[in-house]
Amino acid sequence: MMENTRYRRGFAKDVHDLIPNWEPQVIFDIGANVGQTAVAFTQFFPKAFIYSFEPVPKSFQKLNAVASQHTNVRAFQIAFGDYSGTANMTVNGTSTRNCITLDREVAANTAEVSITTGVEFMEEHQLEKISFLKVDAEGFDLRVLKGFSSKLADIDFVQVEAGMNSYNQTHVALSAFSDYLSLHNFYLFKIYNQVFEFSSGRQPLLRRSNPVFVNGRFCDLQGLK
């Protein structure tokens, strides 16, 4: 919780300093786990309505309990991707490493979950825009973004979890996010929550981070030329 609070405080200060008139109305928390990020959002953006999404049953139960304590948080037991239907997902308790698996063989610690696209969810709930889209899908993040493809122009900020070295096979590389989002007029705002490798002892190698991208309509791109 402390990490989420510190990170959200940093983003809140940065966006206030650089875009002082920006006031988030709708926040998507995809991969909400047990609600720790949603709580941090309520502290720094109390006027925003937060949609929190978590497909794993045990995690969702705790998330739903957290959401019930906040009038501006709503919990949904669903996953996001680039298609609608069902998917197999690891279900190791409330682990933050639970993820959608593309393996054909269903392991004992997986469960079938509902999956939808961002476009379909926004249309179903009549949402015209998203102020901040946070995605933490343990390697599935880029496919989640592709499910929002035709709606990305209506999103202000996008945050993902990115791999920062070629040995990290769990997370999508930062360059892949940058390449995809630049096609939709998004640019790197700032890199938060940088984490070093720990798998075989403390390594001086950056493993992952939470980059935030900003919609180009907030930027004076002509002034950069």
Summary mean pLDDT of the chain: 89
pTM score, whole prediction: 0.90
Query: What is the average per-residue pLDDT within 112-133?
Result: 96
The CA distance from 149 to 151, in Å, is: 5
Residue boundaries of the structural domains of the chain = 2-224
Per-residue pLDDT at 27: 98
Hey, what long-range contacts does 187-194 have (CB within 8 A, 24 or more apart)? Answer: 187/213, 187/214, 187/216, 187/219, 188/212, 188/213, 188/214, 189/14, 189/157, 189/213, 189/214, 190/11, 190/14, 192/7, 192/10, 192/11, 192/159, 193/3, 193/7, 194/164
Place of tokens 């925003």: 48
Asked whether 194 and 211 are in contact (CB, 8 A), the reply is no
**Confidence band of 87 (pLDDT split at 50, 70, 90):** confident
Domain 2-224 has CATH 2.60.40.10: no
User: 169-183 as b/e, with b when 16 or more CB fall inside 10 Å?
Assistant: eebbebeebeebbee
Query: What is the average per-residue pLDDT within 116-140?
Result: 96
How many C-beta atoms lie closer than 10 Å to residue 48's C-beta? 18
